[in-house]
A and B are shown apart, each in its own frame.
Chain A
Amino acid sequence: MAFIKVENLTHIYHPGTPQESVALDKVNLSIEAGEFVAVLGTNGSGKSTLARHLNGLLLPTEGRCFIRGLDTCNEQELWQIRQQIGMVFQNPDNQLIAAVVEDDVAFGPENLGMDPQEIRAKVNASLQAVNMAKYRTFAPHLLSGGQKQRIAIAGALAMDTDCLVLDEPTAMLDPQGREEVLRTVQKLHEERGITIVYITHFMEEASVADRIVVMDKGQVAADGTPREIFADVPGMKKCGLDVPLAVEVVWQLRHQGIKLPEDILTEDELVEALEAYTCQSN
């Protein structure tokens, strides 16, 4: 059974009014436990709407959304779903609730009614996992954007979440903050096998995922490994997106008759390929 299963999901905002807009149009998607899936798409492509269906913050206009077989439309199962799917939002300022870091991380477990000692242990472990233990007693407004986002991640971890859904977590951060957050997410995926759904419009961030889903106008436009997805340079540009620099360079060079392997993704691979190319021609 897939961890996340989205079936024929349609979501219409303000149905029956002049502002009616179709945000998701018959989306089908399934994500296995332990996958790292990046979701790419321009603003308004429906990616945030999709994310909010995964833990029942939004309910489908049509279709269904299952998490480990639990239906988000079933109110009794909703709390179990939300415990399993931790969510991190775009604006780091608008998701921390308490005025002290450790109290904020404790917020989720407290809602679940955990025992105080257990909460304390979970809070400490989660802060450790995102490398923020020494900021335990800080006020959130004194932290940088990247640090706030890591606290938000810790807040989800403290609920023993199996899956993190991150909705453009780096859009409002500086390069340092972006790197901190991405590193943390990668680490949690690798070390704990946490399932990741990572929404972004930074191509370099998406390229570290196992799989990329491209959203365009409320539909899944492409779905595959980063290599497969980025190989279609014109297709990506048509969706208003971009490709990582290495991919773009290879694509251009190939078009100018330089025979490089097609499936290059990272700078490392490109350097290696160019080195091999010169040796070969010598």
Chain B
Amino acid sequence: MLSNITIGQYFPGNSILHRLDPRVKVLLLFFFLIEIFLFSNAVAYGIFSAVAFALMLLSGIPLGMLLRSLKPLWWIILFTFVIHLFSNPGTPIAKFWWFTLTWEGIRMGCFISLRLVLLILMSSLLTFTTSPLKLTDALESLLSPFRRFGLPAHELAMMMTIALRFIPTLIEETDKIMKAQQSRGADFTTGNVMKRLRNMVPILVPLFLSAFRRADELAMAMEARCYRGGVGRTQMKSLKTGGVDYLAIAGFVLLTVSLLGIKVLA
């Protein structure tokens, strides 16, 4: 059912991860993901997994919920693993028809799938501990230096804010229009693709009309409240970087230095 959809997967809480400046979180995640790709030795992956696990515990979010975020991508992970098992030349272990299983294949398969798992888990950790609104603020702030190159940072953030505000309203509305047309005998579940697409018209037309009307009224309401773009605008909630954030950055630098050390020594 449509009304069961929740937006994003924010899990309210008050852990250290929740309290971090969202900008710091976004940047650290970005660099962490790069490092996952740069360092591909067993020790490094051990450290990455340990860090990820520690952060998951720190977040205070039930582990089951975090692991569930892997579910939609489970098949892709498995598929990549199997492909790598057989596609790497090296010491053969066994042979099935013309596929050769190699030690190197197993090693590579494990690395690549672990990489995917870490990627998904760490990104989910960001969205689980950061409300969509804070993410929007963070993006606006991080993108603002690019304004001089013509990037409309404020407008993008405003669009995201309005989208976040109206997605639940529009979902409710879609649900209502669908039910109204169903009550008039509309059928959305049978027939071939073309027929089904055509059957969507009685939903899409009212939905678009209503979205336009809403947009029109919203624009008016915004103007009535003196909105005239990002120029001269202030913000009630400005993002602040504090002690916890510096600690997190220091921790990350330490991680990077030790990874580099291990690589040089090896």
Interface residues of A (CB under 8 A from B): 52, 55, 57, 79, 82-83, 86-87, 89, 91, 93-100, 102-103, 106-116, 119-120, 123, 139-141, 152, 155-156, 159
A114 to B228, CA, bound (A): 14
Within 8 A of A (CB), among B200-216: 213-214
Contacting B228 at CB < 8 Å: which of A93, A97, A111, A141?
Answer: A111
30 A-B Cβ contacts within 8 A?
A52-B220, A57-B223, A79-B228, A82-B224, A82-B225, A86-B224, A87-B224, A89-B221, A94-B213, A94-B214, A94-B218, A95-B217, A95-B221, A97-B161, A97-B165, A97-B218, A97-B222, A97-B225, A99-B164, A99-B165, A107-B227, A110-B235, A111-B227, A112-B226, A116-B236, A119-B234, A139-B168, A141-B172, A152-B221, A159-B225
Q: Are B226 and A93 in contact (CB under 8 A)?
A: no
Give A123's nearest chain B residue, CB to CB: B236
Is B237 an interface residue, CB under 8 A from the partner? yes
Contacts of A110 in B (CB 8 A): 233-236
Q: Report if A99-B226 is in contact (Cβ < 8 Å); known contacts: A94-B221, A141-B172.
A: no
Question: B60 interface residue, CB < 8 Å from A?
Answer: no
Expressed in whole angstroms, the Cα–Cα distance for A114 and B226 within the complex equals 12
Task: Closest A residue to B238 by CB, please name it.
Answer: A116
- 5 additional A-B residue pairs with CB within 8 Å, beyond A86-B224, A87-B221, A98-B161: A94-B221, A107-B225, A111-B227, A140-B165, A152-B221
Q: Does B242 contact A (CB under 8 A)?
A: no
Tell yes or no: B169 within 8 A of A by CB. yes
The 6 A-B residue pairs with the shortest CB-CB distance, nearest first, are A95-B221, A94-B217, A106-B236, A108-B225, A119-B236, A87-B224
- Complex CA–CA separation, A232 to B227 (angstroms): 43
Q: Which residue of A lies closest to B227 (CB)?
A: A111
B234 touching A91 by the CB < 8 A rule?
A: no
Q: Closest chain B residue to A111 by CB distance?
A: B226
- A108 touches which of B161, B164, B220, B226 (Cβ 8 Å): B226
Shortest beta-carbon distance, B92 to chain A, in Å? 57
Which residues on A sit within 8 Å (CB–CB) of B162?
Answer: 97
CB of B225 within 8 A of CB of A79, answer no
* Chain A residues with CB under 8 A of B221: 87, 89, 94-95, 97, 152
What is the minimal beta-carbon distance from B233 to any residue of chain A, in angstroms?
A: 6
Contacts of A155 in B (CB 8 A): 225
A107 to B109, CA, bound (A): 51
Kindly identify which residue among A57, A96, A106, A115 contacts B224, using a CB–CB cutoff of 8 Å: A57
Contact between chains at A141 and B169 (CB < 8 Å): yes
A96 touches B217 (CB 8 A): no
B132 to nearest A CB, angstroms?
Answer: 7
> What is the CB-to-nearest-CB distance from B8 to chain A, in angstroms, rounded to a whole number?
11
Nearest B-chain residue to A139, judged by Cβ = B168
CB within 8 Å for A57 and B225 given contacts A109-B236, A120-B236, A123-B236: no
* Contact for A93 among B214, B222, B236, B238, CB less than 8 A: B214
Query: Is the pair B228, A89 in contact by a Cβ cutoff of 8 Å?
Result: no
Report B-chain residues with C-beta under 8 Å of the C-beta of A86: 224-225
With the chains together, A93 CA to B170 CA distance in Å?
10
Which of A82, A139, A141 sits near B226, CB closer than 8 Å?
A: A82
CA distance A96 to B161 in the complex (A): 11
User: Chain A interface secondary structure, helix, strand, loop or mixed?
Assistant: helix
Q: Is the CB of B224 within 8 A of A55?
A: yes
Which residue of A is nearest B137, CB measured? A103
> Taking the complex as formed, is B76 at the interface, i.e. its CB lies under 8 A from any CB of chain A?
no
Cβ–Cβ contact B236 & A89, under 8 A: no
A103 to B133, Cβ gap below 8 A? yes
Is B232 interfacial (CB 8 A cutoff)? yes
Q: Is the CB of A103 within 8 A of B214?
A: no
A79 to B172, CA, bound (A): 35
User: In this complex, what residue of A is CB-closest to B235?
Assistant: A110
Contacts of A152 in B (CB 8 A): 221
Residues of B within 8 A of A93 (CB): 169, 214
Identity of the chain B residue whose Cβ is nearest the Cβ of A80 in the assembled complex: B226
The CA of A119 and the CA of B259, in the complex, are separated in Å by: 46
CB-nearest residue of chain B relative to A58? Answer: B220
Contacts of B235 in A (CB 8 A): 110, 116
Q: Which residues of A sit under 8 angstroms from B214, Cβ to Cβ? A: 93-94
Looking across the interface, which residue of chain A has its beta carbon closest to that of B172?
A141
**CB-defined contacts of A156 to chain B, threshold 8 Å:** 225
Residues of chain A within 8 A (CB-CB) of B228 are: 79, 111
A258 to B223, alpha carbons, bound, how many Å? Answer: 54
- Counting chain A CB atoms within 10 Å of each CB, the highest count among B213, B218, B221 belongs to B221
Q: B residues within 8 A CB of A108?
A: 225-226
Closest approach, in angstroms, between the C-beta of B227 and any C-beta of chain A?
5
Bound Cα distance from A126 to B202, whole angstroms:
42
